[in-house]
């Protein structure tokens, strides 16, 4: 077959050779030329154009590099507007005009605020300022830094971050298929979603079942791994936290304001104390700091001297509110004493107690509670504002609340002992209504007397007073001026009875109080309040005698002394106190 296939040259000749038609006679030379033409293959030969006819573009001697698109930058004015000509001359001398100097300062200040000063420096200020050399620009920059200080380092950081983001974005726009495409937020989000989806599918594949069997880790193994991971994370967290605490302790120790505790596990300030709690751990006592904090909060005025204290308020502002409040209290006390009717035993909270015992016990309990509140440090601001009488900065309600307030245990013990000795006898004598009215009124009037003595008399304006002394003096005066008992039974020696005259005893106490108050020595006793309480007791006794009150008429029907078996003309404070304690104990035991 290959022998019968014509070659390419033969095929070309067969295809291009025209058939010999019958033609007229030609010369031998013409026939030879035609024969040569018919034998030449019919194909286009390669030719070249002469140089003088070709259009050739020569390479330019100085090619122009295409410039990138420039960004328009708007430069604002200086914060305080254009700089005066004298200032421009002082900065740049006479080498720059006022307009050029202001423009240079604007450009430099713009670079400072924009952060580009780190990149461009003070050079290349523009074509218009080629005559401004580096020395002049540095002078302008120094003046700007002195006149308008800013955080150039922070501005440079922000500028660098913006430029990096801009360049990265332009590169990504120019060629999104480069590796910078992975910085595209949308692409990163899609890849994260795909990764989470693959993990979810892998988790489902691990938990798949083959019949009744699980392929992969069992739930028990997964729980063990989770617990182990959580335990390791907790250990790591505690170790990191301990390391941070140690680092913080070292930094505090370096300041010199802190020292280590005796065990070295904590820090404390010099002067602080430590203690061991119930769990055996060392703790730093902050009682002094807490007490000082609430002591500062309990200060009601910023005055440091009596003159400053008096300048804050007028005399009328100090006297009028408490005077009106005490007058109102006295009127209410008189109404309570006049219209009080003893309740039926079925309506009483403790019917087994004598009225005198219940009254005195309630007063003692109230004083004990308020004394306990003084031991609660966070309550100091409240207690000093309302449960302490300050003549230089008084509050009206202090006239009553300070009667139930005691700060010192010995003061509380002395007043409660006197209240127990006199209170039972007086309450049995005049009844609960008159007793409570006199007690409250005597305390309020005694506080008012102390206020007037400090502001109008010779008292101390910066002093303070607390205690039930005025109220106790009031009920003591009332009892001594009304009672007809002439014998007192002493606890020592046993069953010893002594004749006494109550009115003479009260007169002796009054004289002793006057002598003590007349002495020039410094005293912590508020004599003015004592005299105020005595005045109320004397006034109440006089009013009762003037209105026809005699002996035990109007007094308590079920008295403590009657329950104790004491004769009517004998006063036995010890028996009354013992009977009151026995009744209270029996009531508490019965309630349990």
- pLDDT tens for each residue of 202-224: 777 666 655 556 666 777 888 89
Burial per residue of 366-403, b for 16 or more beta-carbon CB atoms within 10 angstroms, e otherwise: ebeebbeebeeeeebbebbbebbbbbbbbbbebbbbbb
Top pLDDT among 480 and 40 is at 480
> DSSP for 201-218?
HHHHHHT-EETTEESSS-
> Over the stretch 348-398, which tens digit does the pLDDT of each residue have?
888 778 888 889 989 999 999 999 998 888 888 888 888 988 888 888 999
Task: Say whether 119 sits in a helix, a strand or coil.
Answer: helix
Question: What's the number of CA atoms in the CB half-sphere (13 Å) around residue 124?
Answer: 6
pLDDT at 181 over 60: no
**Which of 74-83, 181-190, 539-548, 561-570 has the weakest average pLDDT?**
181-190
Confidence of residue 231 (pLDDT cuts 50, 70, 90): very high
Cβ–Cβ under 8 Å, residues 301 and 461? no
User: What's CA 498's distance to the chain center, in Å?
Assistant: 66
Would the pTM count as exceeding 0.85? Answer: no
DSSP H helices, 75-218, are: 85-92, 98-114, 117-120, 134-147, 152-174, 185-206
Top pLDDT among 319 and 181 is at 319
Top pLDDT among 539 and 101 is at 539
pLDDT the model gives residue 35: 52
pLDDT the model gives residue 327: 95
> Over the stretch 474-512, which tens digit does the pLDDT of each residue have?
999 998 888 887 777 776 667 667 777 888 888 988 899
pLDDT the model gives residue 435: 92
Domains defined along the chain, listed by start: 83-172 (no CATH), 257-295 (no CATH), 304-589 (1.20.1540.10)
pLDDT at 41 over 60: no
Cβ–Cβ under 8 Å, residues 572 and 352? no
Q: How far apart are CA 419 and CA 119, in angstroms?
A: 89
506: left (phi over 0), alpha (psi -120 to 50) or beta: alpha
Q: How far apart are CA 421 and CA 411, in angstroms?
A: 16
How do strand 487-490 and strand 496-499 relate by DSSP bridges?
Answer: antiparallel
- Cα separation values, 546 from 154, 427, 438, 482, 537, Å: 92, 20, 16, 12, 14
How do strand 570-571 and strand 487-490 relate by DSSP bridges?
Answer: parallel
Residue 280 structure tokens: 């055996």
* Per-range mean pLDDT, top range of 20-24, 141-145, 359-363, 454-458: 359-363
Cβ–Cβ under 8 Å, residues 118 and 159? yes
- From the list 484, 471, 482, the residue with the least C-alpha distance to 436 is 471
Residue 160 structure tokens: 């660098």
pLDDT at 583 over 50: yes
Percent of the chain with pLDDT over 70: 78
Question: What's the number of CA atoms in the CB half-sphere (13 Å) around residue 591?
Answer: 10
């Amino acid at each position: 077959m290959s022998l019968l296939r014509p070659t390419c040259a033969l095929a070309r000749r067969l295809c291009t050779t025209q058939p010999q038609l019958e033609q007229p006679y030609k010369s031998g030379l013409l026939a030879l030329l035609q024969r040569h033409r018919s034998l030449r293959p019919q194909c286009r030969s390669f030719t070249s154009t002469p140089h003088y006819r070709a259009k050739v573009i020569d390479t330019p001697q100085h090619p122009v590099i295409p410039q990138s698109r420039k960004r328009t930058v708007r430069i604002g004015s200086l914060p305080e507007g254009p700089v005066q000509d004298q200032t421009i001359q002082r900065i740049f001398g006479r080498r720059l005009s006022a307009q050029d100097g202001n423009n240079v300062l604007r450009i430099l200040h713009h670079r400072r605020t924009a952060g580009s000063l780190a990149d461009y420096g003070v050079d290349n200020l523009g074509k218009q300022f080629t005559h401004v050399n580096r020395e002049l620009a540095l002078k302008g920059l120094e003046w700007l830094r002195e006149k308008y200080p800013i955080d150039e380092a922070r501005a440079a950081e922000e500028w660098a971050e913006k430029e990096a983001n801009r360049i990265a974005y332009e590169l990504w726009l120019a060629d999104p298929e480069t590796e910078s495409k992975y910085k595209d937020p949308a692409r990163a989000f899609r890849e994260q979603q795909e990764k989470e989806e693959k993990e979810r599918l892998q988790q489902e594949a691990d938990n798949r079942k083959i019949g009744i069997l699980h392929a992969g880790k069992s739930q028990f193994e997964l729980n063990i791994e989770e617990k182990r991971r959580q335990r390791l994370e907790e250990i790591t967290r505690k170790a990191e936290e301990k390391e941070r605490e140690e680092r913080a302790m070292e930094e505090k120790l370096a300041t010199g304001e802190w020292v280590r505790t005796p065990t070295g596990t904590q820090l404390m300030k010099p002067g602080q104390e430590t203690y061991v709690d119930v769990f055996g751990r060392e703790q730093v006592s902050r009682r002094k700091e807490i007490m000082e904090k609430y002591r500062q909060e309990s200060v009601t005025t910023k005055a440091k001297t009596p003159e400053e204290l008096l300048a804050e308020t007028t005399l009328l502002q100090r006297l009028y509110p408490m005077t009106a409040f005490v007058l109102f209290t006295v009127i209410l006390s008189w109404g309570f004493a006049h219209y009080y009717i003893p309740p039926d035993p079925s309506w009483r909270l403790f019917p087994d107690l004598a009225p005198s015992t219940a009254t005195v016990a309630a007063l003692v309990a109230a004083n004990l509670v308020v004394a306990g509140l003084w031991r609660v440090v966070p309550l100091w601001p409240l207690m000093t504002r309302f449960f302490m009488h300050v003549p230089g900065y008084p509050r009206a309600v202090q006239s009553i609340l300070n009667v139930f307030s005691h700060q010192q245990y010995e003061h509380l013990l002395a007043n409660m002992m006197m209240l127990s000795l006199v209170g039972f006898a007086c309450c049995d004598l005049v009844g609960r209504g008159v007793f409570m009215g006199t007690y409250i009124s005597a305390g309020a009037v005694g506080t008012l007397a102390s206020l007037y003595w400090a502001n109008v008399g010779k008292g101390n304006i910066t002093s303070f007073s607390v205690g039930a002394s005025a109220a106790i003096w009031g009920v003591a005066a009332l009892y001594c001026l009304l009672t007809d008992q002439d014998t007192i039974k002493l606890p020592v020696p046993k069953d010893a009875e002594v004749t006494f005259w109550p009115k003479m005893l009260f007169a002796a106490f009054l004289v002793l109080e006057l002598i003590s108050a007349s002495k020039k020595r410094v005293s912590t006793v508020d004599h003015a309040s004592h005299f105020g309480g005595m005045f109320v007791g004397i006034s109440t006794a006089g009013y009762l005698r003037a209105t026809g009150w005699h002996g035990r008429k109007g007094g308590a029907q079920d008295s403590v002394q009657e329950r104790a078996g004491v004769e009517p003309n004998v006063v036995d404070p010890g028996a009354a106190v013992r009977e009151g304690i026995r009744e209270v104990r029996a009531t508490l035991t019965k309630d349990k």
